Amino acid sequence: MTQDILSDRDLDVIFREARSFKGWQNAPVSEITIRAMYDLLRWGPTSFNCSPGRFVIVQSAEAKKKLAECVMNSNKDKVLLAPFTVIVGTDEAFYEKLPDLFKGYAGAKDMFVANADLAHETAFRNSSMQGGYMIIAARSLGLDCCPMSGFDPDAVNDAFFKDSEHKVNFICSMGYGDAASLPEQDRRMSFDEACEIV
């Protein structure tokens, strides 16, 4: 498996030519595609296979309006006009599922129950990773994405995760992007700017 390398075109679609779209084509996204996206992202690695990411697909007009009330003004149309927006959430009680998800260490759940700080850090870090896998999965299926952090987390949690152990990490609008809405692409940092081999 490690010898299988994606084509340059595949890498362009997932990384080099992918953009954060602000405008969308008037084209619906099927539930089959949304389910396929999750079926891909769930295989991405997390520590202890803890899988703390929880994903709310905001697709109805009512749900979009509710989410739009929680985001900064510049992000409202990105939520209202996109086919759907995913709330990438974190399950702070992810460890409750460890006896089923991680059978290699029977004490995994108790370790996190006994250390709230470790549980919180693990949940946030790994749900962030799963959100990244989600974007790669979405792009692999032909979707465009617009990840956002400009929102009121308390408002999102109250609107969508009330009375649960779930907390919002970030949100990401998705659909088929309108290329006419894109500004010129900003540069990315070079290897020498961002990396160090020691």
Structural domains of the chain, ranges and CATH numbers in brackets: 8-173 (3.40.109.10)
DSSP letters of 28-87?
---HHHHHHHHHHHTTS--GGG---EEEEEE-SHHHHHHHHTTB-GGGHHHHHSSSEEEE
φ and ψ of 45, to 5 deg: -70, 145
pTM of the model: 0.95
Token pair of 36, please? 């396929």
pLDDT at 3: 78
- 112 within 8 A of 91, measured Cβ to Cβ: no
φ and ψ of 90, to 5 deg: -120, 125
pLDDT in tens, the chain (198 residues): 667 899 999 999 999 999 999 999 999 999 999 999 999 999 999 999 999 999 999 999 999 999 999 999 999 999 999 999 999 999 999 999 999 999 999 999 999 999 999 999 999 999 999 999 999 999 999 999 999 999 999 999 999 999 999 999 999 999 999 999 899 999 999 999 999 999
pLDDT at 4: 86
